[in-house]
Amino acid sequence: MNILLIYPKMPSTFWTMDHLVEMVGKKASYPPLGLLTVAAILPTEWNKRLIDLNIGQELTDEALEWADFAFVGAMNVQVRSAREVIESCNAKGLKVVAGGPLFTHEHDTFPSVDHFVLNEAEITLPLFLADLAAGTPKPLYATPDFANVHETPIPLWELADMDKYAYMIVQYSRGCPYMCDFCDVTALFGRKPRVKMPEQILAELEALGELGRFGMVLFADDNLIGNQITLKKTLLPALIEWRARTKPPLGFSTQVTINLVDDEKLMDLMLEAGFRHIFSGIETPEEGSLLASQKRQNTKRDLLANVQRLHEKGFIVTAGFIVGFDTDTSESFQRQVDFIQESGIVIATINLLKAPPGTELYKKMRDAGRLIEPFDFDENESNIIPVMDPQQLHEGFDFVLRHVYSPDYVYRRARTFLQAYPGPKVTNRIVRKLSAGDLGTFFRILFRLGILDASRGRFWNLFFWTLRNRRNLLEYPFFFAALSLQFQRMYQRYDAAAETRKMQIKVVEMPVPVPSSASAESGASFKQSA
Ligand code: SF4
């Protein structure tokens, strides 16, 4: 049996970081973890090929004619490309098997898919394979149960062209104990975090090491600290021991809730284990909106002081923010900008309120007649009819982006961050020898941002300030300069789409918003969590 695994194209968003990835000489951020895990569940004797449309690979006639089945895995953001892929397969008479969050939520909008393998593949894929072997495959396999991740195999990394990816990826846990109403993680994976055994994670890391793929490894958990007791007792000690023994030249990034800051021991263990970059969904500094969207873990705390403490400890905080809550006023936009600037969070993603299918917010908005459908997910769009005048909301969103992503503001935040950040105090430091690739990146950044870019003065200011005050952190001005370029390009893309959006706002017929106590002040994020 010949299986073609196809990963549709991601649109250019904050998460693809395409300009940054290009700057480091790569094509995409991460290999497709879910699809490669599916590949590992398929019978070993089957022939498998992966086509990832994000790294310049193409869906050729030869590949489509070679395959007996196409397996397509996708998230909401890949919907446009997923439809094109399915059309190409249909045109060649190639049977399509589809799974992943996009199809789990919206399979009824894909009538030409032959078989849906929904929810977690560890449960549904074996059912499909058994029926296929018996000659009776059904159109749809779904389950209300959650998989035992102790049985999840190591992804079939060898199918991917690993040199094309900037970072590597593993996953320790699925599920999250919180109930943020805009987030589809609990609908997909439940509220009880299920975690892999430390041996599984170490085996996955060793497998990546054998492929020579060390560097930064993302723990693609929606909330790594969802089960803190097990994390502290098992995985973190195992990673610390492994790091001390093998001295791997790699660091970890992940997503966590902000209450990480409440637990000194957990922070120390994470740092010692090698975690450095952490993403946290801060969403808004406004308490009322956090409460209404059930983001209770972010309430009753000084969020600004929390971020500063995380920086002081040695984490580099990346965070997500949302505008478009029902309670937002004309002043909310300036408050978001002020918070982001004061926090020193250099990498901030800003989204319009959205209601992803499967979430509580989606149901509330649908019941209130406030959903815009159909809808293609994009950071700069929303499927919610806002309480605020739509034109005012888009102007406010534009205001936040224009400030937060301007080189002046990015470099100022970088300075704030570097002033607060001493670097982690750990026993086992991450030591990485500079490679030829690193030198290439260094010269590309130097040429584009230190010589050609209009903001080169800001870059050199930051560089010399760091040289005088934080000599041990000299790589950061380069990193932040590359980010500044990424942000500029993202803003340009948003700006170019703004006129079209203004016209769309005018032509959408607006039902009268019906905010209820349950639907007021809620938020949505763009496939971001924690
Ligand atoms: S947004 Fe984060 S904390 Fe909230 S439910 Fe989703 S994963 Fe959990």
H-helix or E-strand spanning residue 5: strand 2-7
pLDDT at residue 210 in the model: 74
Helix boundaries (H) for 92-120: 101-106
CB of 258 closer than 8 Å to CB of 221: no
The answer as to whether 159 is a domain residue is no
Which residue has the least CA distance to atom 4 on ligand 1? 180
Q: Which of 159, 185, 166 is nearest to 71 (CA)?
A: 159
- Residue 528, token pair as written in the block: 């971001």
**Do 112 and 246 fall into the same domain?**
no
Domain containing residue 265: 167-420
Q: What length is written for the chain? A: 530
Give 178 Cα–ligand 1 centroid separation in angstroms.
6
Q: What is the mean pLDDT of residues 70-84?
A: 94
pLDDT at residue 499 in the model: 59
- Residue 494, token pair as written in the block: 């948003």
Q: At what angle do helices 236-246 and 198-210 cross, to 10 degrees?
A: 30
Q: What is the mean pLDDT of residues 58-84?
A: 95
The answer as to whether 359 is a domain residue is yes
Beta-sheet pairing, 194-195 with 173-174: antiparallel
Give 247 Cα–ligand 1 centroid separation in angstroms.
33
The answer as to whether 104 is a domain residue is yes
pLDDT at residue 24 in the model: 82
Question: What is the CATH number for 40?
Answer: 3.40.50.280
The answer as to whether 450 is a domain residue is no
Distance, CA of 46 to CA of 35 (rounded, Å):
15
**Do 86 and 216 fall into the same domain?**
no
For the entire predicted model, the pTM comes to 0.88
Give 354 Cα–ligand 1 centroid separation in angstroms.
14
Give 173 Cα–ligand 1 centroid separation in angstroms.
13
**528 CA closest ligand 1 atom index:** 1
- Distance (Å) of CA 63 to CA 5, 37, 42, 200: 10, 21, 19, 33
Distance, CA of 177 to CA of 190 (rounded, Å):
8
**Do 129 and 264 fall into the same domain?**
no
Q: Which amino acid is at 78?
A: Q
**295 CA closest ligand 1 atom index:** 4
Single residue among 395, 420, 445 that ends a domain in this structure: 420
Count other C-beta atoms under 10 Å from residue 177's C-beta.
16
From the number of C-beta atoms within 10 Å of its C-beta (0-12, 13-18, 19+), residue 140 rates as middle
Give 177 Cα–ligand 1 centroid separation in angstroms.
8
**Do 94 and 224 fall into the same domain?**
no
The answer as to whether 155 is a domain residue is no
Which residue has the least CA distance to atom 3 on ligand 1? 530
The answer as to whether 176 is a domain residue is yes
Q: Which of 514, 418, 428 is nearest to 472 (CA)?
A: 418
Which residue has the least CA distance to atom 2 on ligand 1? 530
Q: At what angle do helices 390-404 and 332-343 cross, to 10 degrees?
A: 20
**Do 135 and 247 fall into the same domain?**
no
Give 203's Cβ-side CA count (13 Å radius).
Answer: 11
Count other C-beta atoms under 10 Å from residue 46's C-beta.
13
CA 421 to chain centre: 24
- Distance (Å) of CA 138 to CA 21, 43, 67, 128, 315: 41, 19, 20, 7, 48
Is the CA virtual torsion 405, 472, 211, 240 positive or negative? negative
Single residue among 126, 141, 156 that ends a domain in this structure: 141
| Mean predicted lDDT score pLDDT of the chain | 89
- Distance (Å) of CA 525 to CA 40, 174, 204, 228: 31, 18, 29, 24
Look up tokens 């815009």; give the residue: 372
Give 118 Cα–ligand 1 centroid separation in angstroms.
21
Distance, CA of 258 to CA of 432 (rounded, Å):
29
**Do 279 and 413 fall into the same domain?**
yes
H-helix or E-strand spanning residue 403: helix 390-404
Distance, CA of 117 to CA of 427 (rounded, Å):
46
- Residue 462, token pair as written in the block: 């930051």
The answer as to whether 314 is a domain residue is yes
- Range in 150-164, 239-253, 456-470, 500-514 the model is least confident about: 500-514
pLDDT at residue 515 in the model: 29
Instruction: Indicate the top mutation candidate among 181, 189, 222, 284 to test ligand 1's pocket, ranked by most ligand atoms within 8 A of CB.
Output: 222
Show Cβ contacts of residue 91 under 8 Å, excluding neighbours closer than 6 positions: none
Give 226 Cα–ligand 1 centroid separation in angstroms.
9
Q: What is the mean pLDDT of residues 140-144?
A: 96
Convert the pLDDT of each residue in 270-305 to its tens digit: 999 999 999 999 999 999 999 999 999 999 999 999
Convert the pLDDT of each residue in 308-318 to its tens digit: 999 999 999 99
pLDDT at residue 449 in the model: 83
Task: Tell me the β-bridge partners of 99.
Answer: 73
Radius of gyration of the chain (CA): 23
**Do 80 and 186 fall into the same domain?**
no
**294 CA closest ligand 1 atom index:** 4
Convert the pLDDT of each residue in 337-358 to its tens digit: 999 999 999 999 999 999 988 8
Single residue among 420, 442, 457 that ends a domain in this structure: 420
Instruction: Indicate the top mutation candidate among 223, 224, 318 to test ligand 1's pocket, ranked by most ligand atoms within 8 A of CB.
Output: 223
Show Cβ contacts of residue 84 under 8 Å, excluding neighbours closer than 6 positions: 8
Give 222 Cα–ligand 1 centroid separation in angstroms.
7
Give 13 Cα–ligand 1 centroid separation in angstroms.
20
Give 271 Cα–ligand 1 centroid separation in angstroms.
22
**Do 97 and 246 fall into the same domain?**
no
CA torsion angle for 478, 480, 486, 487 (degrees, to 10)? -150
Q: Which amino acid is at 234?
A: T
- Does the pLDDT of residue 509 top 50, yes or no? no
**182 CA closest ligand 1 atom index:** 1
Is the CA virtual torsion 120, 123, 127, 130 positive or negative? positive
**530 CA closest ligand 1 atom index:** 2
**Do 81 and 137 fall into the same domain?**
yes
Give 523 Cα–ligand 1 centroid separation in angstroms.
12
Q: Residue 424, SS3?
A: coil
Q: Which of 323, 363, 258, 279 is nearest to 524 (CA)?
A: 323
Convert the pLDDT of each residue in 379-425 to its tens digit: 678 899 999 999 999 999 999 999 999 999 999 999 999 999 998 99
- Range in 269-278, 319-328, 447-456 the model is least confident about: 447-456
Q: Within 6 Å (CB) of ligand 1, which residues are found? A: 176, 178, 180, 183, 185-186, 222-223, 257, 281, 529-530
Q: What is the mean pLDDT of residues 366-374?
A: 90
Question: What is the CATH number for 182?
Answer: 3.20.20.70
**Do 71 and 190 fall into the same domain?**
no
pLDDT bracket for residue 441 (50, 70, 90): confident
Highest mean pLDDT among 286-290, 373-377, 497-501: 286-290
- Strands of 302-376 (E only): list them: 316-323, 348-352
**226 CA closest ligand 1 atom index:** 8
Instruction: Indicate the top mutation candidate among 172, 173, 178, 280 to test ligand 1's pocket, ranked by most ligand atoms within 8 A of CB.
Output: 178
Distance, CA of 243 to CA of 273 (rounded, Å):
7
**Do 257 and 397 fall into the same domain?**
yes
The answer as to whether 302 is a domain residue is yes
* Total domain count, the chain: 2
Give 62 Cα–ligand 1 centroid separation in angstroms.
42
**Do 69 and 172 fall into the same domain?**
no
**186 CA closest ligand 1 atom index:** 5
**297 CA closest ligand 1 atom index:** 3
